[in-house]
Chains A and B, each alone.
Chain A
Amino acid sequence: MSESGHRVPLLEVEKLEVSFFTQHGVVRAVRGTTFDIARGETVGLVGESGSGKSVTSLAILGLIDLPGKITGGDVRWKGSSLLNRAGLKWVKQVRGKELAIVFQDPMTSLNPLFTLRWQIGEVLRHHLGMGRKRAEERVVELLDLVGIPSPRERAKAYPHELSGGQRQRALIAMALACEPELLIADEPTTALDVTIQAQILELIGEIQQRLGLAVLLVTHDLGVVAGVCDRVVVMYGGKIMERGSATDVFQHPGHPYTAGLLRSTPRIDLAQHRMIGIDGSPPNMIDPPPGCPFAPRCPIAFDRCVEPPPFIPAPNGREVACWRAYDT
């Protein structure tokens, strides 16, 4: 995280702000998120549903469509902005090639009318200029890489002929087609059975090791992040609550929200662990007050929480956005 001058992170998200200008008002989905990812690193982006994780992911890829707009901040890829005039062109070249994403719902994320080899091959034909034959050969290799059995036959299949787990594998294969440097996995397992979830996570971990790519693992489930990630970014109400190394954050959550999330996550290591949900519900993102978004649900909130808390640095490059961080 430290800007040591010579090390440029692969991806930098800086004070990113994204709003949706809807009929009901301006939804401030992302309000100044800052984090970065180095080459080969795995970062977890965690938070309850509605906290702005998907919007952040889409903004990184330049996929925010009207009525949404990036209203502030910057996204830099290998040191150059993807949001200025040149960047808007550049992002079209790197999207799907250097920067790939896997979405949440494998059942609906593939085009139902095209074969796997056509859909996956399309990426290769477009970005790498491969001919149809070569692209199809490469698709078979990719399907093999993501653990789809008899890939040569499966390549000819249509999405409806595959199970959910296999479709997610196919989508991962599509994302990996051009050997990207960063893979964003937006809740890649949420829509799947528990056993399949573990397999997909294992696959992502394995591929990450093998290809050395960086991964941004987006999830509402802290349990998913625990074993896999180097660092964690905790998001709530469009803001970052806390970021730091995964071990630190899990062992000593610095933000009451993180602590709450941890308590509400099922844990395999503690048989006696009682799951306790966080009281209340996520904030309305239309014209939210400037202070800490978690304050209304926070057990230790006090007067000052109506002011936006700064990031309070702690040891090990840890940062917590809470007035009461390390109070005790």
Chain B
Amino acid sequence: MGRFAIGRIVHGVVVVFCVAIVVFATSRLVGDPVGVILPFEATHEQRAALRHQLGFDRPILEQFGEYITNLARGDFGTSLLQDRPTISIVLEHLPATFELVFAGIALAILIAVPLGVVAAVRPGSLVDRMSVSLSLLGLSVPEFFLGILLILFFAVELGVLPASGKGGIEHLILPALTLALPAVGRLTMIARSSMIDQLGQAYVQTAKAKGIPRWRVVGIHALRNALIPVLTLSGWELMRALAGYAVTVETVFAWPGVGYLAFQAVREQDVFLVQTIVLVVAVLVVFVNVGIDILYRVVDPRIKLG
């Protein structure tokens, strides 16, 4: 466990460091934040002065060195527009994103696994064919479009759920569903095929021959094995949601999370805020990865700790 943990920490630090390089490079190479901060009619001198003040006129490597040193001290920089530490802004928005992403992925797993299992138990049946079509549908509709469809139907047409913002549980339903449905498609396919695979294994025959009820054969013996690939994909879904889908879904629903914040920060060219968002998300992704690795070791005794 010790070596495993140290290895993962080193790996995580390397990943975050690489992300820091990429983030830094892109934010310095693309666009000019000075033009955004200052009014359109600002003079050339004013612009140069601000550039100097922000340190943008120094050699790029020197700037990067300072950036990394500051990071190590916990200084992520100051937002250009809000004039506050970027890290506080990001941390304020994090809980909302967690709420949305965990609700979405949990919902996806809770729908996909039973659906996949039922389909796998009777391959070729009506339920099976329906699950496959549903999965394909979920897969082929983009998040933003799905989100808008759901808003149009439930918020505009029926008027039963709020279209945007954050509040009670009713505000969570549509964005979580939007995040969940494409994941349901992928997870159902994996749950189904992995379950079909497991049901054909010899140990299932042994379990049947024991005389135990069928639900135990399917729901305990085969399912536990079938969940291993589902776990892999769920981790992937969680990472993709944090690092990508959350931006679309939160923006469509004006959900006050890090994704929506990222959208605004990019639009307003708040370079330092964007940098911090990307770094924080990278750290989260690294954490999810480690979490999945630990879960594997809990589920599968064949994977050794260490």
Contacts and interface: CB of A to CB of B under 8 A. Distances in A.
Given A103-B206, A111-B203, A95 B211 contact: yes
A94 interface: yes
B211 A97 contact: yes
A61 B210 contact: no
Nearest to A106: B202
Interface string B229-251: 00000000000000000000000
A101 interface: yes
Given A113-B225, A113-B300, A160-B302, A100 B202 contact: no
A126 B209 contact: no
Q: How many residues of B sit at the interface, in one of the four size bands?
A: 20 to 34
Nearest to A92: B211
Given A96-B212, A122-B212, A111 B207 contact: yes
11 contacts: A96-B209, A96-B211, A108-B203, A109-B203, A109-B205, A111-B224, A112-B203, A112-B225, A112-B302, A122-B216, A171-B206
Interface in A85-133: 92-97, 100-101, 103, 105, 108-114, 122-123, 126-127
B205 A113 contact: no
Q: Which 6 pairs across A and B sit closest by C-beta, in order of nearness?
A: A96-B211, A95-B211, A108-B202, A96-B210, A158-B301, A111-B203
Interface in A56-99: 61, 63, 92-97
Secondary structure type dominating chain B contacts: helix
A108 B201 contact: yes
A316 B29 CA distance: 96
Interface of B: 201-203, 205-213, 216, 221, 224-225, 299-302
Contacts, number: 67
Given A109-B203, A112-B302, A158-B302, A174 B210 contact: yes
Contact of B209 (A93, A100, A114): A100
B203 A110 contact: yes
A158 B212 CA distance: 20
A165 to B, nearest CB: 17
B301 A160 contact: yes
Contacts of B203: 108-112
Contacts of B209: 61, 63, 95-96, 100-101, 103
Nearest to B300: A113
A122 B300 CA distance: 19
Contacts of A112: 203, 225, 300-302
A103 B225 contact: no
A113 B299 contact: yes
A126 B212 contact: yes
A51 B212 CA distance: 29
Nearest to A93: B211
A83 B226 CA distance: 32
Contacts of A63: 205, 208-209
Contact of A111 (B211, B213, B225, B299): B225
Contacts of B206: 103, 109-111, 171, 174
A126 B207 CA distance: 12
B297 to A, nearest CB: 12
Given A92-B211, A109-B203, A160-B301, 14 more contacts: A96-B209, A96-B212, A103-B202, A103-B205, A105-B202, A108-B202, A109-B206, A111-B206, A111-B221, A111-B225, A112-B203, A112-B302, A113-B224, A126-B211
